[in-house]
Structure 1
Amino acid sequence: MAHEVRGVIARKKGEPVSLETIIVPDPGPGEALVRVQACGVCHTDLHYREGGINDDFPFLLGHEAAGIVEEVGVGVTDVAPGDFVILNWRAVCGQCRACSRGRPWYCFATHNATQKMTLADGTELSPALGIGAFAEKTLVAAGQCTKVDPAASPAAAGLLGCGIMAGIGAAINTGGVNRGDSVAVIGCGGVGNAAIAGARLAGAAKIIAVDIDDRKLQWARDFGATHTVNSSAADPVEAIRELTGGDGADVVVEAVGRPETYEQAFYARDLAGTVVLVGVPTPDMRIDLPLLDVFGRGGALKSSWYGDCLPSRDFPMLIDLYKQGRLDLDGFVSETIGLDDVEAAFGKMHRGEVLRSVVML
């Protein structure tokens, strides 16, 4: 029988969210019903509310989550009731051209649950990133569930489901940071600080954090930045070059998603260095770079999709590092809140007051 639970809904563009009754179906073939324990408030959820993703309202928000599998549908073998899982929004298909070439982290045919969750009146909901986890229970494709060690804190573990994985993966998977490298990270919110933590894990010798907010720069130091630059007071390109012997950084991670910061990243890297774009731009944004500079500086300009992660590989490994004390996931949890506090949390996030507010259920 269907499950009647509470969920956070965005009904119209730009309007405050509401806490409403939703109907969650029993899992069908290939699906899993998950009792959500924790879900981070990610900027992507705010993008959905503001109509920045699409206009398929109403949305069931929330996607950065961990919880317990309650039921599974026919054909599900990788997870079972009682498993502690992190939810992901790129359940790989195993059959597309990327998967068949051994690059499943680029899967071009990721999938979600087939059945729709609805409002009490039958209105179909669009779950954020195919998850919809600002709810007591949610329905996902079984491949969106990654089993991890249940000893991990749900509040910390759930953050790997989106922003923290995106940042760590941008540094390690996409940027290929190696031991002894110099790394600069522009934008020190949740994703940027996760990139700093990833660079530290990879053994970078110099990690330069850039932001306009001294509070965020202090957070960056806590996660492993060796140097900080307040770009409201200093030219970040010149500062990064000065800190790297005049050369520029080996890898520059742009975690803002704006043309001006991308240009800074482009010129702040060393010759043959790598720029990684993990900040999410809006559809109207454009960049204008001299093509000769693109050619002459060499190296690589990359975009990072979800940190180019493979959840089945990366989530358990990062949870192990967390348990060993080598990855401070707890440090990203600024506060824990309830479902009815999500709208206020959007305001705190927009003002840069928190790294992550985490809804606990």
Structure 2
Amino acid sequence: MPHEVRAVVAAKKGAPVEVQTIVVPDPGPGEALVAVQACGVCHTDLHYRDGAVTDDFPFLLGHEAAGTIEAVGEGVTGLSPGDYVVLAWRAPCGGCRSCRRGRPWYCFDSRTAGRPMTLLDGTPLTNALGIGAFAEKTLVAAGQAVKVDPAARPEAAALIGCGVMAGYGAAVNTGRVGRGDSVAVIGCGGVGNAAIAGACLNGAMKVIAVDIDDRKLDQAERFGATHTVNSRGTDPVEAVRALTDGHGVDIAIDAVGRPETFRQAFSMRDHAGLLVQVGVPTPDSTVELPLLDVFSRGGAIKSSWYGDCLPSRDFPFLIDQYLYGLLDLGGFVTETIALDQVEEAFAKMHRGEVLRSVVVL
């Protein structure tokens, strides 16, 4: 029997989001019905609302979520009603050429639910990142639901589903930060601070946080930054070089995704250093670099997709790090809100007032 639940819908480009009643079907083969307990308000949801991702309106927003399994469809193994899960927007298929080569974090055919959730009039909804979890219940592919320790508070656990995983993975999985490395992170929002936390947990000796907002730099110190640079009035490249004996850092992480921050990260690397791009650029962004510098500086430039994570491996690990007191997930939660406060949360995000607002149901 279909389920009528409250959810946050972006009806048209740029319009304020609305709480509407939607219809969620029972799970079919390979699917799971999840009762959502918490869902973080991520910048990607704002991109969807503004039509910057696709124009397939109306959207069911929300993708950074934790909850419990309510029902599973035919053929689902490893999940049962009552299981506590974090939802992943990448669920490796196991059969594409990337998965067959042992690189499931680059899966080209990631699984999502096969049937749409709809408005009451039957209009299909496009789920943000294949999830749609600003809702009392959501339907996902079973592989998107990753079991984790139920001792983790939902509002903290939810953040593993996107921002924290993206930032932590950018440092640990993509950047391969190791003991003694020096790291610079440009942009100290949720993703950037997760990169800082990941770098510290993996043994970085020096972690330099770069931002234009002193409030965010103060937060970065909470997550382990050893040095901070306010780039509003300071050349961040020169400042990072001054903090590294003139050499630059081993790994520079751009968690903003603007052409200027990309160029800064490129230039603040040490010889043969690594640039990791995890901030999401706008579709019209371009960057120009002197080809001789690309060649002569050596090293590498790598994009980090979802922190190059394998959710079934990385989600439980990060939850355990949180429960052991090693990863301060609670520090990312600025406020908890209700479904009807998501539009206000977008405004706070735009003003830089929050790391994460988290909808709690």
Same-fold status (TM-score > 0.5): yes
2:8 is paired with a residue whose SS is strand
Paired position in structure 2 for 1:46 = 46
Question: How many Å separate the matches in 2 of 1:106 and 1:15?
Answer: 34
1:156 aligns with 2:150: no
1:309 aligns with 309
Amino acid at match of 1:128: A
The unaligned stretches of length 5 or more in structure 2 are none
Q: Which residue of 2 aligns with 1:347?
A: 347
Cα distance in structure 2, aligned partners of 1:319 and 1:122: 38
Aligned-residue sequence identity (percent) comes to 73
Secondary structure, aligned partner of 1:199: helix
Letter in 2 for 1:217: L
Q: How many residues align?
A: 361
2:178 alignment partner in structure 1:
178
Secondary structure of 1:276 counterpart? strand
Cα offset for 1:233?
Answer: 1.6
Write the distance in 2 (CA, Å) between the matches of 1:321 and 1:260: 34
**How far is the alpha carbon of 1:78 from its aligned partner?**
2.1
Cα distance in 2, alignment partners of residues 13 and 235 from structure 1: 37
Structure 1 residues 321-340: aligned runs within 5 Å: 321-340=321-340
Q: Which residue number in structure 2 is paired with residue 115 of structure 1?
A: 115
The equivalent of 2:194 in structure 1 is 194
C-alpha displacement at 1:286, in angstroms? 0.4
Aligned to 1:142: 142
Please list the CA deviations of residues 287-344 of structure 1 after superposition, one character each: whole Å capped at 9, or x if unmatched.
Answer: 0000110011110100000000000000001111100000000000000000000000
Counterparts of 1:17-36 in structure 2 under 5 Å? Answer: 17-36=17-36
Q: Residue 183 of structure 1: CA displacement? A: 0.2
Matched, 1:96 2:76: no
Q: Could you report, residue by residue, the CA deviation over 1:1-43 in whole angstroms, capped at 9, with x for unpaired residues? A: 0000000000000000000000000000000000000000000
Secondary structure of residue in 2 paired with 1:109 = coil
In the TM superposition, structure 1's runs of 4+ consecutive aligned residues that sit over 3 Å from their partners are none
State the match for 1:65 in structure 2.
65
**Residue equivalent to 1:230:** 230
Cα deviation code 1:240-293 (max 9, x no counterpart): 011011100000000000000000000000011000000000110100000110
Question: Which one-letter code corresponds to 1:158 in the other structure?
Answer: A
Unpaired runs of at least 5, structure 1:
none
DSSP-derived class of the 2:327 partner:
coil
Equivalent AA in structure 1 for residue 219 of structure 2:
W
SS class of match (2:149): coil
Q: Distance in 2 between matches of 1:68 and 1:103?
A: 29
3-state secondary structure, aligned to 1:76:
coil
